Amino acid sequence: MRLAQDKARTVFAENSQDVVLGADTIVVLDEHVLEKPSDEADVRRMLKMLSGRKHTVSTGVCLIGPKFEDVQSETTEVLVDTLSEEDIASYIASGEGIGKAGAYGIQGMFGRWIPRIDGCYFNIVGLPVPLVWRMMKKFGVG
């Protein structure tokens, strides 16, 4: 939530008559925050950690306007199938995992290995659209 707020405040400081949305998403397994992987070896490490396990995806959202600031978050639980070495190798070869928190994007080929989620799908993609809509309605935006 703090990073989402920092992002939104930075943009709002230069656009104070506009409404600004900031968001930041993290993937958490046990007590480990899985950030964006640094390279293919890091993608492999993260996918092995996620394989056959549940984890959470949390997105902090900050909406700022001339007369308001609201910060909220959404958390979704995600179950990943057990991944074979072949699954991991093919995913790494696709390049999809680079630049994504937790080394995966559910909206791409990795979605085939997600048998169940509990919560907002859009949150896993990176922006919890229903939460943002509720926040916008609260302040008469949009």
pLDDT in tens, 59-71: 999 999 999 999 9
Taking CA atoms, 120 is separated from 1, 49, 97, 103, 130, in Å, by 17, 22, 21, 19, 8
Which amino acid is located at 27 in the chain?
V
Asked whether 37 and 43 are in contact (CB, 8 A), the reply is yes
Active-site annotation holds for 24: yes
* Pick from 20, 9, 35, 23: nearest CA to 128: 23
Q: What is the pLDDT of residue 59?
A: 97
Is the domain 2-138 a CATH 3.90.950.10 member?
A: yes
Catalytic residue among 6, 24, 70, 87: 24
Run means of pLDDT, 10 residues per run, the chain, 142 residues: 97 97 96 95 97 98 97 98 98 95 96 98 96 97 88
Per-residue tokens: 110: 């990795």
Asked whether 7 and 59 are in contact (CB, 8 A), the reply is no
* Pick from 38, 73, 36, 44: nearest CA to 58: 73
Asked whether 118 and 77 are in contact (CB, 8 A), the reply is yes
Show me where the domains of the chain are located: 2-138
Taking CA atoms, 141 is separated from 19, 24, 76, 120, in Å, by 8, 21, 25, 22
